[in-house]
Structure 1
Amino acid sequence: MRINTTRTAGLLAVLALFTVGTVTGCGNETASGRHGTQVRGTDPTPDPQDRARRVADAWDGSRAAESWAEGYYPMEETVQLPAGAFRNDADKRAYGAQNFVLRGELPTTSRKDGRVKWESGGSLTLPLMGSREAFEAIAGGGGDGPHLTVTGAELGSMPLVTSRGPATVPAWLFTLEGYDMPLKRVALSPSELPQPPIGPAGEVPTDKLAPLGGLAEVAGDGRSVTVVATHGACDEGPAVDVLETDGSVVLSGSVVGTKDGPCTAVLLSKEMTVQLDRPVGDRVLLDAFTGRPVPQE
């Protein structure tokens, strides 16, 4: 099933593995797990549909799938903004740049573990992230310009969509100057990813298959997913196909309208929404190129 582009996510920084300037033969560019490098993978399957089926077959019923089903993997942003955020464009820019200032003490806790509780039943205990670590996860900017001020924090919880459905997870609730409601940040790290049962695709033109940039969103009803797909400056944009099985949803990225000849080596990204025949549920979302779960952006 071919789907349409939604909104443009904007220009990404040119990756270090791209040569600044121009490249030739844009229509013949190859993809790898590191965007544009010509490193051969372990699966030489050239046909995109066959590759997607091979990825699905490798995962369905595998030990990796069992580990995924038992773990905790967020399927949406692990930061929840205060209601009504933002007050102004300056605050919005500050958040985007991760410019935070701490004016106050962050609490410590004697708790070493936190528990994920799923709406469908079951729970999982994982190491609890401290308030300082959680703060540093959201405050990585530290540059000039507008900033948001954190005046305190307390340990609470927040709802979160995960690979096993909706859950309630521990979260640090940061008090922001000028806001009545806190900014929430999940206080747990995801489970370790299982070893994939299939290697990445081999050298293949990007108009056939390309790696995805990451997972942007899963719809509330689970019937669509939005992923970040990349493309170049000399093509018509990315496309994403989907193969659904009982145990997985395999997404195949590619580039359409590629052209031969010189092309500026810039990398663009677009968010692509894929409609599914049925809700994602506890099925694993897989990137056909890498053979791995699509990472949370």
Structure 2
Amino acid sequence: MSEYLMLPLAALPFPNIDPVIVQIGPLAVHWYGVGYIVGILFAWWYAKRLVTNAKLWPDGTVPMKPEDLDDFIVWAAIGVVLGGRTGYVLFYDLPRYIAQPFDILAVWQGGMSFHGGLLGVVLAMTLFSWSRGIRTWSLFDVVAAGVPVGLGLVRVANFINSELWGRPTDVPWAVEFPNGGPFARHPSQLYEALLEGLVLFLVLRFLTHSRLKLKTPRFVGGAFIAGYGLSRIFVEFFREPDQQLGYLLGTSWLTMGMVLSLPMLLAGIWAMATAKPVTQPQPV
């Protein structure tokens, strides 16, 4: 590790943006929380745009109404928060929360899992679509199409918070994080913001508007989970593993993020490979 000790001399300086946007007394607004809120609102707005564009759907028959999405946003928010927190507790730091169970409620201390949040939203979508008689995969498609924007914003917030940084490196764009030790590190949060956020959003936009894949239920949703899984596995090679877990199975490269993302990649490939276009109008 000695070769890394001199790296901070050539590293890019950390911007030191205050993680708190504004604070009034004990109430504080953080970039991290704003990322979640803006991401959820954008996905809701974008999904409504998709369901009001009849040209994107088979025979112009839209499988849900914009008002359905107005109601679903509450379900989605609950699924994200409960699923994300539960996933973090179970996947990343279970011994700590067994010893200190009340810390599970301390969400302001951080600790959210994308994979848990995804499971929470999938459960919410399934229950909501059944209650409304909506085709579940079509709901998944329209929701997934806008989610990458929120993912990108939250990863930028991770960078601002100086958390989830990357492994030591000597690349020219390495960053010296204030709590990252005496090493210059990959800004892996920004890699994720680029791949899981901007790139994935543009890919899904191409599929919905150029390839008209909303006419093939579960293709867009499959592309989302496969794209996220692939992006996350790739970035995990540059990201420092969680301290309480480290590398898995005695390796120097396998991380929990990879383990959780591989099933997503496989499931997404399956969803795209088996998706079939709707040939006749479906009941709303």
User: Quick check: which one's strand share is greater?
Assistant: 1
TM-score (norm 1): 0.23
TM-score (norm 2): 0.24
RCO (CA 8 Å, sep 6+): is it higher in 1 or 2?
1
User: Quick check: which one's helix share is greater?
Assistant: 2
